Amino acid sequence: MLGWLAPGDPRGEAAWLVRAWLNSPVHRPIVLGASFRRVGIGRTTGTIGGELSAVYTVDFASAR
């Protein structure tokens, strides 16, 4: 999954994104999926459309 927002405290950003994904009918089953046992998370900051942004990528993986 991918998410971006105005940068701030990374903990607050992450909490906001998780809440947004859990409130999304498309993303909720992915976040809560029982088949995933590992998760990788990345964050970077940069400019998107002239605005400073924090960009997150989340990779869900099975146990294998």
Q: What is the pTM of this model?
A: 0.76
Q: Assign 63 a pLDDT band (cuts: 50, 70, 90).
A: low
Q: For residues 59 and 17, what is the distance between their CA atoms, to the nearest angstrom?
A: 14
Q: For residues 55 and 63, what is the distance between their CA atoms, to the nearest angstrom?
A: 26
What confidence score (pLDDT) does residue 20 get?
93
What confidence score (pLDDT) does residue 61 get?
86
CA atoms within 13 A on the CB side of 16: 14
Enumerate the domain spans of the chain. 2-61
Tens of pLDDT, residue by residue over 8-58, are 888 899 899 999 999 999 999 988 888 888 889 999 999 999 999 999 999
- Of 61, 54, 47, residue with least CA distance to 11: 54
Q: For residues 36 and 38, what is the distance between their CA atoms, to the nearest angstrom?
A: 6
